Structure 1
Amino acid sequence: MKKIIILITPCTILVGFGSSFAGEIKGQVFESGSNQAVVGAAVLNKRTAVSKHTDKNGQFTIEGEIGDILLISMIGYKAKEVKLKKEKLLKISLELDEMLLEEVVVAANASPVHLKMSSSNIMVRGMVRTRRQVSQESYAKISENTFQSPLKEPLSTFAADVDAASYSNVRRMLKAGSIPNPDAVRVEEMINYFQYDLKSPTNGDPVAISSEYTRAPWNTEHRLLRIALKAKDIPKEKLPASNFVFLIDVSGSMSDENKLPLVKSSLKMLVDQLRPNDRVAIVTYAGSAGVKLQSTSGDEKMKIKDAIDELGAGGSTAGAAGIIKAYQIAREHFIKNGNNRIIMATDGDFNVGASSDEDMETLIEKQRESGINISMLGYGMGNYKDSKMEILADKGRGNYAYIDNISEARKAIINEFGGTLFTVAKDVKIQVEFNPAYVQAYRLVGYENRLLAAEDFNNDAKVGGDMGVGHAVTALYEIVPTGTRSAVIGSIDPLKYQKTPTPEAGQLSGEIATIKFRYKDANTEKSKLKQALVNDQVKEFEKVSTDLRFASAVAEFGMLLRNSAFKQQASFPSLIARARAARGEDKEGYRMEFVRLAEDAEALWKAQRGE
């Protein structure tokens, strides 16, 4: 009995009927041999970049014209490109790909069930349900933040997070026709994937803080508080000299086209950004670690690129040995007051030596005080170990991006070169004190794996998050105003042995919260404190910044993908309309891409639920 993955792809196209066309194309996708409808298959028009999903009957409608290429894909089937001719009605037969059959997690009645099944037995209680996720991918469990009472928990403390890996990883899953694993959806990373128009710091400060306060779009009885941090911009020519070590996974699992070949293209883009005063060494690892290129000046670009081009994949994966070797090389060429950084490119699937998530945390904590940061670039699918990548970045004073295509590589490495690779403020922590006279309950949206104890805020030995050149961080709080009846926050009976605290414990000062944040300059170990006040002045949602309206749509999207217990009146149509209206200038088209992604997710969601 074989295990199953399902990779969507059409195999046989049967002719329909009609004459020449330019407009709406209809079709049906079914399984070869059984003639059963394939539900949730992705149909992409490669020219327009618009994709649709098949409904409960395997049917779809998409705009197209003669000469367009449709890509039909579904996990577990062979993919194939289809060139549109004169047919206006398509019947598409998909063949199962026996080579790609793996274990599938099928969510039946909201309970994940692991099944080892044949290609003809992919049913749970008569229906394939919501989520299929390749089991070899690992994600750290997320226990979603709940509403807290400021009478019991007046302080909310967390480390800043500029990672954006979750968004591009979720995008990859949705484009493959799969509802993401909820634990792969980190809402704060999805929000912070996008650039926002924030005021840069003044008076020599490396970070500036701002806030906005409005109604929550998914429950207008509640409020939404946005806290935003903006790191200073530094012209490229004034950035400090860099000592880079490229740490590249060349194990057998990296042989796929979306792994080592994409790694090579990505890193060669970075090489083009190097200056003569920068240096690069290359460390590789498979069954063991080795030095492919000794530290080399940034003006020897062809020598560095030739070394990258020579890399090939094969063997097991001694990731820990590679990390140790990379830190050793970085220390040997350490630049005082410079930018010392390891750039690790891998799928995270370590299998030789120390390899567990706990091993990675112990290993990276020993290395992080060396003054050498680490940037994680994740690649691939199927065996992807997101949990390890996240630990290495979070615990190693680094950042983390998932690279699923060359456009994402360009975004992370060229467009956001300074923010990704040059730290201007480290150990950034945020602490918010809520006033119970105005706030009945609050909930931090996301940041579950970045929470800190209240006392960690003032402890400089506790690691926070790092912010690079020009980086922006957005955090959202959903707030229930005092006196508002809200079923979502729950209630408890009055206490018997002590007085229940009352909102009068706060002061009617007009302040709903005080925001404090700490940071260290890049080359110091003593933190500095800044703070800002949030007044009880609720702006109408239509009058807040375009950025907040867009960020709220991304947050709502994340809650729906996670099927959050706190999604309330969240809906795809609402967030899609809001995001479309809040695209702003959108020079690179990332916001419009989000709108299309949300539309695809809505169609896939409906199709897999038979709506």
Structure 2
Amino acid sequence: MHKLFLLGTVLLTAATAASAQTPTSTQAHQAKTVADTLVIRGRVTDAGGQPLPGVTVLVKGSTIGASTAANGTYQLSVPKASKILVFSAIGYVTQEAKLSSQQILNVVLAEDRQQLNEVVVTGYGSLQQQSVSGSAATVVSGRVAGVAVRGAARVRGNRGAMPSGFSPAYPAESSESYATIHENGYHDARRDPLSTFSIDVDPASYANVRRFLNDGQLPPADAVRVEEMINYFHYDYPQPTAQEPFSVTTELAACPWNPQHQLVQVALQGRTVETQHLPPANLVFLVDVSGSMSAANKLPLVQAGLRQLVRELRPQDRVALVAYAGAAGLVLPPTPGQQREKILTAIDNLSAGGSTAGGAGLRLAYHVARENFNKEGNNRVVLATDGDFNVGESSDRDMEQLITEERESGVFLTVLGVGEGNLQDKKMELLADKGNGNYAYLDNMQEARRVLVQQFGSTLFTIAKDVKLQLEFNPTRVQQYRLVGYENRLLAAEDFNNDRKDAGELGSGHTVTALYEVVPVGAPPVVDNLKYQSNTVPAASASAELLTVKLRYKEPQGSTSRLLTHTLSGAARPLTQASENLRFAAAVAQFGMLLRQSDYRGTATYAEVARQAKAARGQDADGYRAEFIRLVHAAEGIRPAPATYGAR
């Protein structure tokens, strides 16, 4: 196998040098293309002037289009003969705008309440199967041999016209997999005062939920991880002032979905390190180019995202590219960041086909990363896949063992999930969790840019690892408590002091938010008092400590944890007097519980969630909170459909 990889690398070098002599297109063709098109740009807002992300912008009568970014802006190259652009989004009245000689076209969309109340899921028809040829283990001309696609997947059904490059391929029956979530229940503060869990900063669940809602469907319950939805958003917590890599903030307020309860917010703010001051990066892009990746929202989206990331690289950074289909191959050896054209060419030359040797790809990628390990830098494998491993190590147990072994080398893992229909969310979440890394789902180009460019430091540069939280509740003030979300991040109490126990990682500038629903002493208990044990507790004033937060973390390359402590005292504030941070996080938590049809959602409604989110929207420079409010309105009008997704 080693000789085969060396042979593939030699062939790649020779073929790449030869292909460099032949231009891919003529200057005359480029000039004609520019002359025949017009670049239209602008901004789409609602009636209140707030930006609308995710609006589809189409040239009428064609499939030429774009989607608005988080701040509502768009840019589109249209044929000069085009007359009309069509702007459409779920929950808004579709609007047509005439094109003129002006190149700036701003549009205001009005809400369509009738549409929101009449959205019904009717299915998406059937998928015509694609034909894929071959599978081989060598690398030639920057492509994994034998992975060229013969034919392409096409969608039939009632989706209507979509922009080129934006149409997902929906199968008639989904084989997506999600880990089963059993929601956290209440714990008695006298008998079980400790709550211990690993932090989680993965944004994957929110982007995946957004994909379902934008397509007019409610997500399957197990696709909704409430803590990931909360932590998708940035919050205004103070930067650390001491030597620690993060600050700790706590707050207590009335619970919005149960007025007799209280809501505790525990938040971390990672130190923000400017890109120019980040340590050098040793990155290995590991790209799945199997046949299941041929859809427009899979490999082409990954390539577009990686191209954007490459533009952020510095001369001190190094990048390698490994691709895997029927076998794995080194497409690009470690290359300095300033050689962008060489890196971009390798990315552009990838094409999809063949089966999926995920285990072989991971082993080779880790091998390349270890061979070029930078003791002073950030060493990371960036895996882009739909998670559909079916050759080599394929079981969750095998993959978990492989990743657990490899993480000891000090190489971290970032997982980028793409696609729909066969998205293996469960497997990708597991890989990121065991690989000392993070997991993001890319549902569109804007999300790819957000993860790989706007959050370059927080996504790819770890400032603390194995971060654990342990809260001890004071039973003189707390009867019962419930952690909202983090079901797959729970730890045993004894795991907190065990430095061999793996936990979550925190990136540069990352925020972490956790919410607890608390039943205060004096409120009706959610669990009846015991008959044969004493139920009396000493009285405590509202100024007494409610809880103590203990936190452990390690340096990125360290092996011994450090301990921090923080206490929360004082009375609960009315919700209207709580910070925007707590109020917006509470709105997102309620939205997640509503989508899950949680038994703990209390009085929460979509209308009330939207109202609370609007009141706590704050500055919202990027428009993500405005988009959240739009999604809440969209979800309110979608009729639940029979579940077709399940844990596998």
- Scaled by the length of structure 2, the TM-score of the pair is 0.74
Cα 1:93/1:330, change in 2 over 3 Å: closer
What are the residue-to-residue correspondences of 1:19-418 with 2, within 5 Å? 50-52=89-91, 63-67=93-97, 99-100=126-127, 134-418=173-457
Give distance in 2, aligned partners of 1:261 and 1:546.
38
> C-alpha offsets along residues 404-452 of structure 1, whole Å, 9 cap, x if unaligned?
1000011101111100000001110000000111100000000000000
Cα deviation code 1:496-522 (max 9, x no counterpart): xxx345433989870110011111112
- For 1:343, the aligned partner's letter is V
- Cα gap change, 1:491 to 1:286, in 2 (>3 Å): same
Contact persistence 1:427–1:518 (CA under 8 A): yes
Tell me, what secondary structure is at the counterpart of 1:266? helix
The whole-number CA distance in structure 2 between the counterparts of 1:387 and 1:273 is 30
Q: CA deviation at 1:492?
A: 5.6
How far residue 303 of structure 1 moved from its aligned partner, in angstroms, is 0.1
Measure, in 1, the Cα distance between the counterparts of 2:549 and 2:316: 40
**Aligned mate of 2:617, from 547, 569, 583:** 583
Aligned partner letter, 2:416: L
Alpha-carbon RMSD: 2.8
1:97 Cα deviation from its structure 2 partner: 6.3
2:626 aligned counterpart, secondary structure: helix
**TM-aligned CA deviation for residue 475 of structure 1:** 0.1
Deviation at 1:46, TM superposition (A): 8.8
SS at match of 1:157: strand
How far is 1:50 from its partner? 3.5
Q: How does 1:492-507 map to 2 (within 5 A)?
A: 493-495=530-532, 499-500=533-534, 502-504=536-538
Q: For 1:370, what is the secondary structure of its paired residue?
A: coil
Contact 1:436–1:506 (8 Å) recurs in 2:
no
Over 3 Å counting, the alpha-carbon distance change for 1:364 and 1:500 in structure 2 is: farther
Aligned-residue offset at 1:98:
5.2
Deviations 1:270-307 (A, max 9, x none): 10010001000001111111100000010100000000
CA distance in 1, matches of 2:356, 2:485: 32
The alpha-carbon distance between structure 1 residues 250 and 66, as it changes in their structure 2 partners (threshold 3 A), is closer
Opposite residue 372 of structure 1, the aligned amino acid is V
Partner amino acid, structure 2, of 1:477: Y
- Contact residue 328 and residue 357 of structure 2 kept, 8 A: yes
Equivalent residue for 1:533? 567
Q: Are residues 133 and 426 of structure 1, via their aligned partners in 2, closer, same or farther at CA, if it must alter by over 3 Å?
A: farther
> Using a 3 Å threshold, how does the CA distance of structure 1 residues 391 and 149 change in structure 2: closer, same or farther?
same
Shift of the 64–200 alpha-carbon distance from structure 1 to 2, 3 Å rule, reads same
How far does the alpha carbon of each residue in 1:157-198 deviate from its partner, in whole angstroms, 9 at most, with x for none?
000101010000011011111111110000000000001111
Contact 2:245 2:464 in 1 (8 A): yes
Q: In the TM superposition, what whole-angstrom CA distance separates every residue of 1:88-127 from its partner, at most 9, and x where no partner exists?
A: 99xx99998653399xxxxxxxxxxxxxxxx9xxxxxxxx
Q: Distance in 1 between matches of 2:96 and 2:540?
A: 68
Q: What SS does the corresponding residue of 2:638 show, helix, strand or coil?
A: helix
Check the 8 A contact 1:160/1:428 in 2, yes or no.
yes
Contact 2:85/2:97 (CA < 8 Å) preserved in 1?
no
Alpha-carbon distance in 2 for matches of 1:575, 1:68: 36
Distance 2:406 2:528 in 1: 46
- 1:99 corresponds to which letter in structure 2? S
Please name the residue that 1:570 is paired with: 604
* Partners of 1:435 and 1:506 within 8 A in 2: no
- Mapped to 1, the partners of 2:274 and 2:629 lie a distance apart of 32
1:491 aligns with 2:528: yes
Q: Is the 8 A contact 2:120 2:639 kept in 1?
A: no
Q: Is the 8 A contact 1:230 1:472 kept in 2?
A: yes
Letter in 2 for 1:137: E
Residue 467 of structure 2 corresponds to residue 428 of structure 1: yes
- Given candidates 473, 476, 500, the residue that maps to 2:512 is 473
> What displacement does 1:493 show?
4.4
State the one-letter code of the partner of 2:126.
M
Instruction: Return the alpha-carbon distance in structure 2 between the equivalents of residues 385 and 606 of structure 1.
Output: 22
Q: 1:382 to 1:93 in 2, by over 3 A?
A: closer
Does the residue aligned with 2:391 lie in a helix, a strand or coil? coil
Aligned residue identity for 1:327:
Y
Aligned partners of 2:172 and 2:208: how far apart in 1?
13
The 2-side partners of 1:598 and 1:386 are apart by 23
Q: Distance in 2 between matches of 1:47 and 1:379?
A: 27
Aligned counterpart for 1:602 among listed residues 636, 640, 643: 636
Residues 320 and 234 (structure 1), Cα distance of their counterparts in 2 relative to 1, 3 Å cut:
same
Cα distance 1:254–1:213, how it changes in 2: closer, same or farther (>3 A)?
Answer: same
Matches of 1:471 and 1:242 in 2, distance apart? 18
Give matches, 1:442-481, under 5 Å. Answer: 442-481=481-520
Give the Cα separation in 1 of the matches to 2:173 and 2:374. 43
Question: Cα distance 1:506–1:602, how it changes in 2: closer, same or farther (>3 A)?
Answer: same
* Partner SS state of residue 287, structure 1: coil
Indicate conservation of the 8 Å contact 1:146/1:443, yes or no: yes
Are the equivalent residues in 1 in contact too, given 2:553–2:561 (CA < 8 A)? yes
The DSSP-based 3-state class of the residue aligned with 1:599 is helix
Q: What is the distance in 2 between the residues matched to 1:249 and 1:447?
A: 29
Q: Counterparts of 1:136 and 1:68 in 2: how far apart (Å)?
A: 42
Quote the residue 1:516 is aligned against: 550
**Native 8 Å contact 1:560 1:567 kept in 2:** yes
In 2, are the aligned partners of 1:271 and 1:298 still within 8 Å (CA)? yes
The residue type paired with residue 220 of structure 2 is: N
Q: Does 1:553 align with 2:596?
A: no
Q: Does structure 2 retain, via aligned residues, the 8 Å contact 1:133–1:181?
A: no
C-alpha contact (below 8 Å) 1:50/1:596 kept by paired residues: no
Verify the 8 A CA contact 1:151 1:501 in the aligned structure 2. Answer: no
Contact 1:269 1:413 in 2 (8 A): yes
Change (3 A) 1:212 1:285: same
CA change 1:243–1:94 in 2 (3 A) is closer
Once the two structures are TM-superposed, the CA of residue 608 in structure 1 deviates from its matched residue by 9.4
SS at match of 2:252: strand
SS at match of 2:190: coil
Structure 2 letter corresponding to 1:155: L
The question of whether the paired residues in 1 share the 8 Å contact of 2:88 and 2:95 is answered with no
What is the alpha-carbon distance in structure 2 between the residues aligned to residue 550 and residue 232 of structure 1? 22
Residue type of the partner of 2:570? D
CA contact (8 A) 2:594 2:605 kept: yes
Q: 1:427 to 1:360 in 2, by over 3 A?
A: same
Alpha-carbon spacing, 1:143–1:65, altered in 2? closer, same or farther (3 Å):
closer
Q: Which residue of 1 aligns with 2:55?
A: none
